[in-house]
Amino acid sequence: MKLPISFYRQENVLKLGKDLLGKFLFTKIDNKISAGMIIETESYGGIKDKACHAYNNLYTERTKVMYERGGVAYIYLCYGMHHLFNIVVNKKNIPEAILIRALKPFIGTDVMKERNPSKNFLNGPGSLCKSLQITKKLNGENLLGSKIWIEDRGVKIKDKNILKLKRIGIDYAKEDALLPWRFKIKKI
DNA sequence: GTGCGGATGAACT
DNA sequence: GTTCATCCGCACT
């Protein structure tokens, strides 16, 4: 079943980063469904997090989506070539989001490989967006809609099987770059 | 209008 | 571990 809106409105972005592990991200683009299980996330903690685009309450055309109520998609272009998909959480005007970094194939593997022939087609935030055809067109899209959504299929990840690691590619955030806000399912 | 740096990926060693 | 392709968005003038 689709995650209810109340899930996204919770106020603990770190708990949500962990809770999203084992959930399933779906897209339906051009009438083709593809999906994967979320196995790695990173939490971005609002105006006090130097790694967050909304640090210091920065409000621009790009970041405004993060100020929406939880339950919408924040998608932007990085390095001029990669789309990155984030889940906006918490209340309106609290700009917190969770970046999806990796998925495990579930549905529509052939379609995904066709869109992204690379070996790591769901490993890495830019790669998985290419495979699921997530583009800026979906920026601000409601995650309970019919184009992009997240389902709970009863998979439970125990806390002892979750690795807590520092986030990647944000060295400019100085001390915040060391925060263990990346969550990953331990390989069994 | 202009300058500059980035929440990356792929292909290397 | 390294390099580099490649261009949007932010902050300024």
Q: Is the pTM of this model over 0.85?
A: yes
Q: Which nucleotide is nearest to A170 (CA to C1')?
A: B7
pLDDT above 90: residue A188: no
- Read off the pLDDT of residues A53-78 as tens digits, 9 standing for 90 and up: 999 999 999 999 999 999 999 999 99
Contact indicator for A119, A71 with CB cutoff of 8 Å: no
Q: How far is the CA of A187 from the C1' of C9 (A)?
A: 37
Of A158, A154, A163, A153, nearest in space to A186 by CA: A163
Q: How far is the CA of A19 from the C1' of B4 (A)?
A: 37
Nucleotides of B under 7 A from a protein CB: 5-11
Which residues, including other chains, have CB under 8 Å from residue A79's CB and lie 6 or more apart? Answer: none
Q: Which nucleotide is nearest to A79 (CA to C1')?
A: B6
Can you give the pLDDT at residue A187? 75
Contact indicator for A34, A41 with CB cutoff of 8 Å: no
